[in-house]
A = this chain, B = another copy of it.
């Protein structure tokens, strides 16, 4: 594939999803970014990995989660087109190991920005530095919300929050989820989730079907 083709494709994507960037920044990025595709279920990051670039998501959905030694998972938040992976920025700038996992939930595309560019971008382009700070800020806030949930709330409230969140992410009241998936994301067990969902159905908050949960609140 010719470099010019790739170059203009990147430019298009940047303009579409990162319209807040000043034109010179877009040009700069288009010169140096490459596009990377991920299949559904493919891992974008795994604990212990080093980064040589920062990722800007331009298509698909990426789940960011925590994994412990025993392989237990815990869902933290989700990224879509227009989002950047804050962790990859942090780790990239510091050349540190990542301690989190990321997985594509559907076929996804990301732009890879070489970390060698970071200094120049941060000091040279105000919209970039705003973008980076804003990325941190919003991930931090999301993480704080996660802490709130597990620190202060009971399982049923957490499920409620989870469903609301999923509804927002999928733009639909019909969620294609199994009880097991929810249990995995919340580091709980399937039976507990089933039990509580059943109670919520009795209270008229959801309608349950095989592979679907309809949110009614």
Instruction: Using CB atoms and an 8 Å cutoff, list the residues of chain A in contact with chain B.
Output: 66, 68, 72, 74, 76, 86-87, 90-91, 93-94, 96, 99-100, 119, 122-124, 126, 129-130, 132-134, 136-137, 139-141, 143-144, 146-148, 150-152, 187
Number of copies of this chain that the complex holds: 2
Among residues of B, the one whose C-beta sits closest to the C-beta of A69 is B152
Asked whether A144 and B90 contact (CB < 8 A) given A151-B66, A152-B68, A152-B72, the answer is no
Point out the residues of chain B lying under 8 angstroms from A122, CB to CB. 122-123, 129
- Identify whether the interface residues of A are mostly helix, strand, loop, or mixed: helix
Contact A187–B151 (Cβ < 8 Å)? yes
Asked whether A90 and B123 contact (CB < 8 A) given A148-B68, A151-B187, A187-B152, the answer is no
Contact A146–B148 (Cβ < 8 Å)? no
What's the minimum C-beta distance from A21 to chain B, rounded to whole angstroms?
16
A86 to B150, CA, bound (A): 22
A148 to B76, CA, bound (A): 11
